[in-house]
């Protein structure tokens, strides 16, 4: 349905979606709550059932689901023009903030207090990854048709993220394809072949490949982008150090807007502001394409057995990848005090049950104190 003639004006969409982009700290749960409050509860532009159906459909798509939901809601109100304006206004505020912070944290010799804050926040990221994956486990398990296969997919994702990061996307696609094959031919047990792809050894083509993996080939929420980027950005192309990558992940968590904007920091490290903008453009382009080309078919997507089967395989593998990425993230820490910060972050998240943003800010403050005191920095 192309609802150009109904709903709020384009200026209203720009203002409201831009507001959410500015205050949307806390990742997808916060974005969904703010969109529901605006579209369903306050303005009554959408009914609750339609909104919940949109969430379910976006969760069947690869890429950042809350971003796709924001684009869908704007599309539903003002058609394709609304989707483009609403999606852009949702993304741009956080993108600008994260590029400014990238310039600050990735400069050659930042002040000790800034370097310490980044090292502290980065030290907490492994605990945040575990918390993010852990929170997804119950719902994923309930949806799975087989405990044995669910466990196997989970393990495959975790092991791949911890060991062969650049090839994780093949594992995610392979697990999804295998589940589809089993639905169509239950007696078949052979592995599904998948195609490998490479983007060369560096430059903008390599950056584009990393960004497209983040935007079009990731399942399971924002944190699954970490193993998709880490090996490429740190080990393969050497755009940034392990410590700088931890900073990038932390910045993606504490800035407003989609967590996927972490890719802009990687792009900045690779090729400055132009690289950051290019990476963001490529990473978010699939989300716009999915909605602009497919939103009218969301009902059929939700009912499609192959789509559900694919997610039954790729979803647990993605959650496993989120959990498994804690291994290389923790392995990137170099100072003893960072492990103390990591432990404190785990206590805040799992025992005291504080939020991710507060935990990362506290970890950053601890690191800044170390920097001010002249302590060892990575």
Please check whether residue 87 is in contact with residue 287, taking contact to mean a CB–CB distance below 8 angstroms: yes
Say how far apart CA 37 and CA 30 lie, in whole Å.
10
Q: 253 to each of 124, 155, 167, 233, 356, how far by Cα in Å?
A: 11, 25, 24, 18, 8
Q: What is the DSSP string of 118-171?
A: HHHHHHTHHHHHHHHHHHHHHHHHHH-S-HHHHHHHHHHHHHHHHH-GGGHHHH
Q: Could you tell me the pTM of the whole model?
A: 0.81
What letters, b where the CB count within 10 A reaches 16 and e where it falls short, cover 281-290?
Answer: bbbbebbbeb
Say how far apart CA 270 and CA 49 lie, in whole Å.
43
Per-position pLDDT tens, the chain of length 378: 444 445 799 999 999 999 999 988 877 878 888 999 999 999 999 988 888 888 878 887 888 888 999 999 999 999 999 999 999 999 999 999 999 999 988 877 788 998 899 899 989 989 988 988 888 788 889 888 889 999 999 999 999 888 876 678 788 889 989 999 988 876 554 444 344 344 444 678 899 999 998 898 777 666 778 888 888 899 889 999 998 999 998 998 888 888 889 999 999 999 999 999 999 999 999 999 999 998 888 878 777 888 888 888 888 888 888 888 889 889 889 999 999 999 999 999 999 998 888 998 999 999 999 999 999 998
Say how far apart CA 307 and CA 325 lie, in whole Å.
26
Please check whether residue 130 is in contact with residue 283, taking contact to mean a CB–CB distance below 8 angstroms: no
- Please count the helices (runs of H) and the strands (runs of E) in the chain: 17, 0
Please check whether residue 86 is in contact with residue 13, taking contact to mean a CB–CB distance below 8 angstroms: yes
- Of residues 272, 252, 271, the one with CA closest to residue 262: 252
* % of the chain exceeding 70 in pLDDT: 93
Q: Residue 187: its pLDDT value, please?
A: 57
Other CB atoms within 10 Å distance of the CB of residue 60: 18
Please check whether residue 270 is in contact with residue 300, taking contact to mean a CB–CB distance below 8 angstroms: no
| Joined tokens for residue 244 | 């700088």
The Cβ-side half-sphere exposure at 56, using a 13 Å CA radius, reads 17
| Joined tokens for residue 343 | 């432990």
Other CB atoms within 10 Å distance of the CB of residue 106: 20
């Amino acid at each position: 349905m192309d609802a150009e003639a109904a709903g709020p004006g384009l200026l209203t969409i720009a203002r409201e979606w831009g507001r959410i982009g500015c205050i949307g700290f806390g990742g997808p749960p916060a974005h969904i709550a703010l969109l529901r409050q605006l579209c369903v509860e306050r303005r009554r532009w959408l009914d609750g059932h339609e909104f919940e159906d949109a969430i379910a459909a976006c969760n069947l798509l690869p890429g950042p689901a809350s971003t796709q939901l924001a684009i869908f809601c704007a599309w539903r109100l003002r058609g394709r023009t609304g989707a483009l304006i609403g999606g852009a206004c949702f993304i741009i505020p956080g993108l600008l903030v994260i590029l400014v912070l990238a310039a600050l944290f990735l400069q050659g010799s930042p002040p000790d207090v800034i370097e310490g804050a980044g090292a502290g926040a980065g030290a907490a990221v492994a605990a945040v990854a575990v918390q993010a994956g852990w929170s997804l486990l119950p719902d994923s398990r309930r949806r799975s048709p087989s405990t044995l296969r669910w466990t196997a997919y989970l393990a495959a994702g975790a092991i791949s993220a911890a060991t062969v990061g650049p090839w994780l996307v093949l594992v995610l696609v392979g697990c999804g394809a295998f589940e589809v094959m089993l639905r169509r031919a239950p007696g078949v047990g052979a592995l599904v072949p998948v195609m490998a792809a490479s983007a060369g050894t560096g430059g903008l083509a390599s950056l584009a490949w990393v960004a497209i993996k983040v935007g079009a080939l990731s399942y399971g929420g924002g944190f699954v982008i970490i193993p998709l980027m880490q090996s490429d950005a740190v080990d393969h192309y050497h755009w940034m150090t392990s410590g700088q990558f931890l900073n990038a992940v932390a910045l993606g968590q504490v800035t407003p807007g989609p967590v996927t904007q972490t890719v802009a920091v990687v792009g900045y490290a690779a090729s400055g502001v132009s690289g950051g903008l290019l990476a963001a453009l490529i990473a978010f382009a699939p989300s716009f394409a999915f909605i602009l080309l497919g939103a009218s078919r969301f009902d059929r997507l939700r009912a499609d057995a192959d789509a559900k089967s694919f997610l039954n395989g790729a979803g647990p593998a993605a959650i496993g990848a989120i959990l498994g990425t804690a291994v290389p993230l923790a392995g990137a820490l170099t100072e003893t005090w960072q492990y103390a910060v990591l432990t404190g972050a785990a206590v805040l998240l799992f025992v005291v049950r504080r939020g991710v943003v507060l935990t990362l800010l506290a970890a950053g403050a601890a690191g800044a104190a170390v920097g001010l005191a002249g302590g060892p920095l990575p």
